[in-house]
Amino acid sequence: MKINEIYKSIQGESTFAGRPCVFIRTTGCNLRCEWCDTTHAFEEGREMTIETILAQVESHSCRLVELTGGEPLLQKEAPRLVTRLLDGGHTVLIETSGSLDIRRMDPRAVVIMDIKCPGSGMSGAMRWDNLAALKPSDQVKFVIRDRADYDWAVEILDRYPSLTRGVVLFSPVFGALDPRLLADWILEDGRPVHLQLQIHKYIWHPETRGV
């Protein structure tokens, strides 16, 4: 597998936010979101065996692990790595764009799947049949840039009401949308969604890597 970096930090997103977590960041992404904050993962990285990856994860003495990117589902060995981590007693989160088939992954893992809003420039890449493959333990995330993105996200929730049976995350694009404004919209609508802030960007400088 081609890996950009492996590090331990505080989980900044999802309902696991605030917990220590080991991040396995893969190299490569098939999308180019307008607000992407991990462009260094497009090309940078090195080939690593699964055994080497597992050894590095174990060195951090942390049971929560996230496979992220880039886009981790581009790595053909990602399903095997996830299964090995789960078999080793880890809780595994998979952060994915929603553009690739999530059914390849071990069902014991928690999929955190983006539904790309128009402000990303990548909403046309969404693989909508992934919605039917979501498990009750999975989470979906809308990264919202402006009111148009918010209204689009609400329309998707109306179109696919089953999404609100699970965890739905609304996250403002950092530096582009005031979180207070997004909070106001959510409160006005009364939607059963979670307001998500990327807390690692408030703890450390937003451009700091490896956190």
- With a cut of 80, say whether residue 190 has pLDDT above it: yes
**25: in domain:** yes
In a domain, 23, yes or no: yes
In whole angstroms, give the CA distance from residue 122 to residue 116. 6
Count the domains in the chain.
1
Q: Is residue 209 assigned to a domain?
A: no
Confidence of residue 94 (pLDDT cuts 50, 70, 90): very high
- Range(s) of the domain holding residue 12: 2-203
In tens, the pLDDT along 24-50 reads: 999 999 999 999 989 999 999 999 999
Position 180 scores a pLDDT of 97
Distance CA 194, CA 162 (A): 16
- CA 135, CA 49: separation in Å to the nearest integer? 29
| Domain annotation covers residue 27 | yes
**What's 33's domain CATH number?**
3.20.20.70
68's torsion region: left (phi>0), alpha (psi -120 to 50) or beta? beta
- The answer on pLDDT for 164 being more than 80 is yes
Domain assignment present for residue 28? The answer is yes
pLDDT band (50, 70, 90) for residue 188: very high
Does residue 61 lie in a domain region?
A: yes
Query: Tokens 């690739």 sit at which residue?
Result: 100
* 208, part of any domain: no
Asked whether the predicted pLDDT for residue 211 surpasses 80, the reply is no
Q: How far is CA 157 from CA 95, 119, 150, 167, in A?
A: 20, 17, 11, 12
Closest to 166 (Cα-Cα) out of 123, 111, 105: 111
Per-residue pLDDT, averaged over 130-137, amounts to 96
